[in-house]
Amino acid sequence: MSHRARKRFGQNFLHDPGVIGRIVHAIDPSPEDHLVEIGPGQGAITGLLLPQVKRLDAVELDRDLVRQLENQYVGHENFHLHSADALKFDFCALAQKDRELRVVGNLPYNISTPLLFHLLENSRCIRDMHFMLQKEVVERMAAGPGSKTYGRLSVMLQIRCHVQMLFPIGPGAFQPPPKVESAFVRLTPYEDRPYPVEDMALFGQLVTQAFSQRRKTLRNTLKGLVSVSQMEQCGIDPGQRAEQLDLAAFACLSHRAINS
């Protein structure tokens, strides 16, 4: 059954067998896994994952694709389809006591960042995540201090997850081909975070404020939130810029702000 990709849903369907095989190999599904696929589209990855796992839940917003997937996988008892918006979906409601979720998906570029943050709010029940995303976004996710691509997204993800860019994916792997390069990325939430954060909301506010004006120094961007003396207590030069701070420094600033 043919389905025309809809721009409003940011649809680009994966069709390259070589890339699909490489993705499934990277996910490395096992018989006891409980997978959740976001945006299964026309089922290019679904069909290969389904026979290898105990349960696969798929979350799809496009109702036409929901009907197509229902027909395609009718009779598969381990397949459960949810006609829903992933941005509003309660992923942890799917989790079973003895099995954490493994989340996979080809995320629409237009909602990728808010969806990543929504998933982080559900990370207590997630073992790992594998996504196809715009390559530029993946580079920002995995960037380290001192890099031009290091910013709020880098810090907010890396404080909670190990982020690993696995391989690039060219536009030709999709139909229709997107105008940008893509990449496949793995995120593994920490069981014990290397840099614990007491108040994630405050930490997020601090990081956002620090990167709000990248050319300005921390002395200016964090005014009213963290004092110069608190920065110095963390061993941070107030004349530095946000992009020069590592995760430990941001965690320390957050701790000082809470306990001031």
| Statement to judge: residues 182 and 221 lie in one domain | no
* CATH of residue 78: 3.40.50.150
Residue 253, in any domain of the structure: yes
Structural domain boundaries enclosing 217: 200-258
Q: Let me know whether 143 and 110 are in one domain.
A: yes
Claim to verify: residue 161 and residue 224 sit in the same structural domain: no
pLDDT at 6: 45
Whether 184 is in a domain gets the answer yes
Q: Into how many domains does the chain fold?
A: 2
- CATH code for the domain in which residue 242 is found: 1.10.8.100
**CA atoms of 189 and 197, how far apart (whole Å):** 14
Question: Is the domain of 85 the same as that of 109?
Answer: yes
Tens-binned pLDDT, residue by residue, of the chain (260 aa)? 444 444 444 457 888 999 999 999 999 999 999 999 999 988 989 999 999 999 999 999 989 899 999 999 988 999 999 999 999 999 999 998 767 999 999 888 888 999 999 999 999 899 999 999 999 999 999 999 999 999 999 999 999 999 999 999 999 998 888 888 999 999 999 999 999 999 999 999 999 999 998 889 999 999 999 999 999 999 999 999 999 999 999 999 999 988 76
Look at strands 182-189 and 161-169 and give their pairing. antiparallel
In terms of Cα–Cα distance, which of 182, 184, 191 is closest to 165? 184
CA distances, 174 to each of 76, 169, 221 (Å): 26, 9, 41
| Domain presence at residue 18 | yes
Distance, CA of 34 to CA of 78 (rounded, Å): 9
Distance in angstroms (rounded) separating the CA atoms of residues 61 and 84 = 5
As a whole number of angstroms, the distance between CA 105 and CA 91 comes to: 14
Does 109 share its domain with 177?
yes
**Whole-angstrom distance, CA of residue 170 vs CA of residue 120:** 27
Q: What is the per-residue pLDDT for 9?
A: 45
What pLDDT, on a 0 to 100 scale, did the predictor assign at position 11? 57
Flag whether 56 is in a domain: yes
| The domain boundary residue, chosen from 146, 164, 189 | 189
For residues 94 and 26, state if they share a domain: yes
Strands (E), 84-227: 101-106, 126-134, 161-169, 174-175, 182-189
Q: Are 32 and 71 members of one domain?
A: yes
Same domain flag for 67 and 130: yes
Q: What is the pLDDT of residue 12?
A: 74
Rounded to 10 deg, the angle between the 112-121 and 135-142 helix axes is 40
Angle at which helices 247-258 and 200-211 cross, to 10°: 120
Task: Kindly state whether residues 225 and 105 are assigned to the same domain.
Answer: no
Q: Classify burial at 250, counting beta carbons within 10 Å of its beta carbon; exposed 0-12, middle 13-18, buried 19 or more.
A: buried
29 plus 152 within the same structural domain: yes
Last residue of a domain, one of 165, 189, 213: 189
Q: Is there a domain that residue 103 lies in?
A: yes
Same domain, 123 and 159: yes
| Distances from the Cα of 85 to the Cα of 63, 108, 120, 180, 257, angstroms | 11, 12, 16, 24, 36
3-class secondary structure, 150:
coil
Residue 2's pLDDT is what? Answer: 46
195 in a structural domain = no
Residue 226 located in a structural domain: yes
If asked whether residues 148 and 217 sit together in one domain, one would say no
- DSSP letter string over 64-106? HHHHHHHHHTTT-TTEEEEES-GGG--GGGT-BTTB-EEEEEE
Question: Could you tell me the two tokens for 72?
Answer: 């395609």
- Of the candidates 137, 158, 189, which is a domain's last residue? 189
Which has the closest alpha carbon to 17: 9, 28, 5, 25?
Answer: 25
Residue 166 lies in a domain: yes
